[in-house]
């Protein structure tokens, strides 16, 4: 189960960094962000999580806010996986968690 927690934590970290990078690059690039290659790559990385957030969020949530919903959900998943990993490491011993 510790390996599963590590995998979930790693995937959520990658997705969180992709969404955060996409947001920062969108601020820097402005209106021409859609032509930016790195923005498009980060958008591809975050798209599955944004689609899941769109499916589970109510229809009244605007489309431009869905990436923020995805970010918050991923942050919650990352926090839960981290807390589970800490709890498991305390139970089995810290030297076995390395």
- pLDDT for position 95: 84
Confidence at residue 39, expressed as pLDDT on a 0 to 100 scale: 93
The structural domains of the chain, with segments of one domain joined by +, span 2-96
- Give the span between the Cα atoms of 9 and 82, in whole angstroms: 7
Query: Is the distance from CB of 4 to CB of 17 less than 8 angstroms?
Result: no
What confidence score (pLDDT) does residue 97 get? 82
**DSSP secondary structure code for residue 61 in this structure:** S
pLDDT under 70: residue ranges of the chain = none
Residues 41, 14 contacting (CB under 8 angstroms): no
User: What is the pTM for the complete model shown?
Assistant: 0.88
Farthest CA pair distance, the chain:
52
Helix or strand or coil: residue 65?
Answer: helix
């Amino acid at each position: 189960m510790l390996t599963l927690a590590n995998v979930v934590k790693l995937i959520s970290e990658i997705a969180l960094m992709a969404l955060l990078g996409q947001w920062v690059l969108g601020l820097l690039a402005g209106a021409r962000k859609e032509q930016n290659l790195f923005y498009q790559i980060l958008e591809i990385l975050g798209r599955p999580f944004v689609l899941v957030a769109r499916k589970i969020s109510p229809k009244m949530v605007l489309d431009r806010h869905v990436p923020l919903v995805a970010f918050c959900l991923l942050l919650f998943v990352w926090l839960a996986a981290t807390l589970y990993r800490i709890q498991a490491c305390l139970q089995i011993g810290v030297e076995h968690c390395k």
